[in-house]
Structure 1
Amino acid sequence: MATYEKLQQVLDWAVAEAGVPGIVADVRDGDRTWFGTAGVADIETGVRRQPGEHVHTGSSGKAFTAATVLALEAEGLLSLDDTVNKWLPGVLDVNGYDGDTITIRHLLNNTSGLFITGLAPEISHRYLTRPAFIKHRFDEFTTDDLLRVAVSQPPVGEPGERFAYSNGGFHLVGAIIEKVTGNSYAEEVERRVIRPLGMTHTYVRPVQDKGYPDPHPRAYSTLFFKDGVDPAAITPANWESMMEDPGLAPLDVTEAGTSGGWSAGNVVSTTGDMIRFVNAMASGSLLPPAQHREMWTTVSTEGGHWMPHARYGLGLFEFDKEATGGRTVRGVGGSLWGSWFLAVGTPDGRQTVAVHTNTEWKSWDVMFRIIEAALGVSIGS
């Protein structure tokens, strides 16, 4: 019980000190379970957060995309080493890219050389400031829109050269899934991942959806840049310095479209369902051994302005063992307006924790303190 008391203290700290309106943590530790909350689901009413809430999992959806592709590979319908041009001829042959050299594997482990899609000026200007977000919050993106944005800026490197976190790569993979199967991306994720794992409260969010099933928390955002910031001037190195001043009241962004995430992250789920998912991905209980090994063949993220102390597999991450004292910790995570999600665990499925805040990512301290309290793993210290 002492472990959970420490975890509750971290949740309370996140609300009191880190600017989180409400947070939940769902723990599986052998035969034991624990669910803790702090803060509120709704600032206006003061309603507390609760088990079973439907939340947006952000870039955790990338793992669903990777698992679907690996299931297709296991059936012999494609190979991770297929080039993009094999399935989407010409889509990548613009702006300095070469669809004959970029493979599905490159797309899934973020070493394709595609630029960081979230920094595309034509995307960022829609959500850059509070007034822009309010104007564009219900915009809908088609697959063609997303593929066009994916190659709208020049490459940041050669295929396989280095890690750069690119939503556009996963959008290309989503289009490949549809080309290979003749079905929609959502249908294939449902068929090959969600249904086999019995995730009854999980789905790929439809383009037209602007809200969430009950129960769900309200979503609050402070993820905005200062007025007058030029989208073209934003880089992975300077974006934090351009954010709006702290202390401003959060904006309620619960009702908004998230179709820009699509196959790069547009899955709605619950902490309980996501624990089931992460356990299956970390342990290999869903995919055949060969595909499981490919999922966890990781690349360095050093220099990629991404999560510290982590390596990237296919849609998921694994912490460096040097930073965990030799223990293997695997998981998924994601953040967008009004939501931050994390689910991590050990490969044997004995210890797993899923966390959600109804605001976007605040600091690595929140993540690392929760992992230490829940799993007994101190990252990087």
Structure 2
Amino acid sequence: MKHISVAAATVAALLLATASPATAAGATTIGDVQRAMETLAKTPGVVGTIGGAYMDGKPAGRGTAGSRLLNGKGGTIPAGSRFRIGSQSKTMVATVLLQLVEEGRLSLDDKLADLLPEVAADGLVERASEIIVQQLVQHTSGIPDWFHQSGSTEPAFDVFDFTTYHRPIDIVKMTRGRPRTGEPGETYTYSNTNYTLIGMIIEKVTGHTLARELDRRLFRLLGMTETYQVTKPPESITGPHGHGYYPDSTGALRDVHRFNASWGNGAGGVVSTTHDISTFRRAFDQGKLLPPSLQAVLTGGSAQQGTGLCGGKLKGQMLGGSAPGLTTLTFSSADGRQQFAISITRSTVDDNAIVPAMIKTVEAVLCTTA
């Protein structure tokens, strides 16, 4: 996950995650979700938006605004439709990895080179013999990110290639020659490559695909019947859903709802709904998926920071995800009783207005009695 303040005005271009532990008990009632979605949809660059609030696992309000397609076309997005959750996938993937640790099938101290000798060969991942599993989970490995071109905010891959399958090892190879971001275990620097490698480790240890392990250990267990991990193109979002847009080299907006599934892998390949992602967050926060010591690996790292919502009164965690054409955000109270999930499709690369607007939306819904 990428841990940043909820007051931050920008989101990483792909597979972001924000976190905001706060300092007091959360709200007990839910504001008008439909009205909040209508306000959010007025933000420049937003095409369509859906949101769902849940209390003790029961629906407490949902809404939809904007449109399914660009320029007001296609009607509104069904409020219960699926969407890509971006880096919110990382918590799910890490949960599976940590379950394997709990089962004794690997250790947090295991070296990357021992688990994946293929990435240590020829120095593909520098210092792989020093990097341990826990550093991958907590983004302290120093391994550079594959997503961005060096020295640029532009993607390092063809956003509009919806058909070419890229193996995880090929994605890792994109980082060859890029400078490390720090010493192993010393500096928090968000890198999607960490979770590409974690996905590879899960598949190596279990002998199964990451998609199968996520389904078996989380989705079926929790009744997340609308959720799945995309793996190879042209697999996309099932059912009516919102379409996001991204400018090509001429500046023309192109539909990217078929975003190439192979780029996600362990870094962000899950498709879900506001209900299902809230179901996962509730189970995670209530300690139903991991023992406290392993859950703390994800929630208690030194990289975690943030500002409380509702004037610092609302205690919980807010995670987000972003990819070309979309941004998602989910708040879950510390006790796991209360969740609010938002998905927006967008027509702009710039998140400077969108992310603060999404955070204000969360506060508009959850801060009514906080």
Shorter-chain TM-score bucket reads 0.7 to 0.9
* C-alpha displacement of 1:154: 2.2
- Pick one of 24, 35, 38 that aligns with 2:62: 35
* C-alpha displacement of 1:100: 2.1
* C-alpha displacement of 1:281: 1.8
Map of 2:334 onto structure 1: 347
1:26 aligns with 2:52: yes
8 A contact 1:338–1:358 mirrored in 2: yes
8 A contact 2:319–2:331 mirrored in 1: yes
8 A contact 2:30–2:60 mirrored in 1: no
Moved more, 56-65 or 368-377: 368-377
SS in structure 2 at match of 1:213: coil
- Pick one of 300, 325, 330 that aligns with 2:312: 325
Take 1:171 and 1:377, find their aligned partners in 2: how far apart are those partners?
Answer: 40
Take 2:261 and 2:344, find their aligned partners in 1: how far apart are those partners?
Answer: 17
8 A contact 1:25–1:36 mirrored in 2: yes
**CA, structure 1 residues 95+191, in 2 after alignment: closer, same or farther (shift >3 Å)?**
closer
- Pick one of 160, 181, 184 that aligns with 1:159: 184
Moved more, 342-351 or 362-371: 362-371
SS in structure 2 at match of 1:275: helix
Take 2:321 and 2:254, find their aligned partners in 1: how far apart are those partners?
Answer: 19
* C-alpha displacement of 1:343: 1.2
Map of 1:289 onto structure 2: 292
1:59 aligns with 2:46: no
**CA, structure 1 residues 170+10, in 2 after alignment: closer, same or farther (shift >3 Å)?**
same
8 A contact 2:115–2:201 mirrored in 1: yes
* C-alpha displacement of 1:367: 2.7
Take 1:294 and 1:327, find their aligned partners in 2: how far apart are those partners?
Answer: 22
SS in structure 2 at match of 1:369: helix
* C-alpha displacement of 1:174: 1.1
Take 1:161 and 1:59, find their aligned partners in 2: how far apart are those partners?
Answer: 23
| Paired residue type of 2:189 | A
Map of 1:269 onto structure 2: 272
**CA, structure 1 residues 327+49, in 2 after alignment: closer, same or farther (shift >3 Å)?**
same
SS in structure 2 at match of 1:343: strand
Q: Report which of the two has the higher share of helix.
A: 1
SS in structure 1 at match of 2:343: strand
| Paired residue type of 1:200 | T
Q: Deviation digits for residues 294-332 of structure 1, max 9, x if unmatched?
A: 2222222xxxxxxxxx63xxxxxxx34599625432143
* C-alpha displacement of 1:260: 0.9
| Paired residue type of 1:333 | G
Count residues in correspondence. 334
8 A contact 2:89–2:269 mirrored in 1: yes
| Paired residue type of 1:196 | L
Moved more, 203-212 or 322-331: 322-331
SS in structure 2 at match of 1:356: strand
SS in structure 2 at match of 1:16: coil
| Paired residue type of 1:325 | G
* C-alpha displacement of 1:32: 5.7
* C-alpha displacement of 1:364: 2.7
Moved more, 28-37 or 55-64: 28-37
* C-alpha displacement of 1:141: 0.8
1:220 aligns with 2:245: yes
- Pick one of 137, 140, 143 that aligns with 1:114: 143
Map of 1:337 onto structure 2: 324
- Pick one of 352, 374, 377 that aligns with 2:365: 374
- Pick one of 319, 343, 347 that aligns with 1:356: 343
Map of 1:180 onto structure 2: 205
Take 2:132 and 2:323, find their aligned partners in 1: how far apart are those partners?
Answer: 27
Take 2:107 and 2:310, find their aligned partners in 1: how far apart are those partners?
Answer: 33
Moved more, 319-328 or 280-289: 319-328
Q: TM-score under structure 1 normalisation? A: 0.79
| Paired residue type of 1:183 | H
User: Identity percentage over the alignment?
Assistant: 30
Take 2:255 and 2:172, find their aligned partners in 1: how far apart are those partners?
Answer: 29
Take 1:271 and 1:345, find their aligned partners in 2: how far apart are those partners?
Answer: 12
8 A contact 2:109–2:133 mirrored in 1: yes
1:299 aligns with 2:329: no
* C-alpha displacement of 1:40: 0.9
Q: Deviation digits for residues 162-203 of structure 1, max 9, x if unmatched?
A: 111111111111111111111111111111121211111111
1:83 aligns with 2:108: no
Gap regions ≥5 residues in structure 1:
128-132, 228-247, 301-309, 312-318
* C-alpha displacement of 1:108: 0.9
8 A contact 2:90–2:195 mirrored in 1: yes
Higher relative contact order (CA 8 A, sep 6+): 2
Take 1:152 and 1:277, find their aligned partners in 2: how far apart are those partners?
Answer: 38
Take 1:279 and 1:193, find their aligned partners in 2: how far apart are those partners?
Answer: 12
Map of 1:4 onto structure 2: 31
- Pick one of 75, 85, 103 that aligns with 2:132: 103
Take 1:336 and 1:289, find their aligned partners in 2: how far apart are those partners?
Answer: 31
**Runs of 4+ residues over 6 Å off in structure 1:** none
Take 1:125 and 1:287, find their aligned partners in 2: how far apart are those partners?
Answer: 35
**CA, structure 1 residues 76+261, in 2 after alignment: closer, same or farther (shift >3 Å)?**
same
Q: Deviation digits for residues 194-214 of structure 1, max 9, x if unmatched?
A: 121111111110212343211
Moved more, 98-107 or 251-260: 251-260
* C-alpha displacement of 1:110: 0.8
Take 2:93 and 2:176, find their aligned partners in 1: how far apart are those partners?
Answer: 20
8 A contact 1:120–1:152 mirrored in 2: no
